[in-house]
Amino acid sequence: MPLNVLLLGPQGAGKGTQADRISAEYGIPHVATGEMLRAAIAAGTELGRTVESIVNAGELVPDDLMISLIRDRLARDDTDAGFVLDGFPRTTAQAEALDAMFNEIGRTFNVVFSLQIPDEVAFERLRRRAKVEGRADDTDDAIHRRLDNYHRETEPLIEYYRTRGNLVTIHADRSENEVFTEIQRALDHVAVTR
């Protein structure tokens, strides 16, 4: 049975880092919509040209574009053994579309992790990252906009998935290794019970 994992949490919670570690440890691809969009922008594809100004401003890309992007990505056969999803869904409409897709193809999430971290810590982490990575959306303005969007649009999904089961809350204001150890404990439990 495949291992389908979702990471929820604000910018700076460490979703990308933890998703990479889950991907390496469990041999499933890390599907990160932000990375996919940045790659499209860098390659100058039609999608990239459409979304560039939206992404750089820290706004959300329209649901229909994101839903078709993820539909194509999850149709690829490298996800047969599962995947770790990071950055999607980000709105209730996206979550409902994903449910519909999952129903069609007979999938569910084995675990949904909610990585929790205070906004001040998230903000400081993003400012530090801005100096290292130079992402176009790591300006103070865009960081604020992204965190605002997170609280307004994405945070309600924690309740959405809590009511559907399999939600595991993780305190992410700790070291990378401590967070990963807790994630692993939950995933190893799933691995024996699924």
Q: Does 94 bind ligand ADP (CB under 6 A)?
A: yes
Is residue 66 close enough to count as binding ligand ADP by CB under 6 A?
Answer: yes
Q: Which residue is nearest to ligand ADP (CB)?
A: 34
Closest distance to ligand ADP from the beta carbon of 29 (Å):
16
What is the rounded (10 degree) CA torsion for 102, 103, 109, 115?
Answer: 70
Taking CB under 6 A as the rule, does residue 87 contact ligand ADP?
yes
Binding segment for ligand ADP (CB under 6 A), chosen from 71-79, 87-95, 101-109, 165-173, is 87-95
Residues in 6-65 that interact with ligand ADP by CB under 6 A = 11, 33-34, 37, 54-55, 58-61
Residues 62, 82: Cα–Cα separation, whole Å = 26
Q: CB under 8 Å to 110, separation ≥6 — which residues?
A: 3, 4, 5, 82, 166, 190, 194
Q: What are phi and psi of 145, to 5 degrees?
A: -65, -40
Q: Nearest distance from residue 97's CB to ligand ADP, in Å?
A: 11
User: What's the angle, vertex CA 65, arms to CA 159 and CA 37, rounded to 5?
Assistant: 90
Q: Write out the catalytic residue numbers.
A: 15, 90, 129, 135, 146
**Strand 167-171 to strand 82-86: parallel, antiparallel, or no bridges (unpaired)?**
unpaired
Q: Is 4 near ligand ADP (CB under 6 A)?
A: no
Q: Are 3 and 110 in contact (CB under 8 A)?
A: yes
**Residue 154 binds ligand ADP, judged by CB under 6 A:** no
Q: Tell me which amino acid residue 85 is.
A: L
Site residues, ligand ADP (CB under 6 A): 11, 33-34, 37, 54-55, 58-61, 66, 87-88, 90, 94, 137, 146
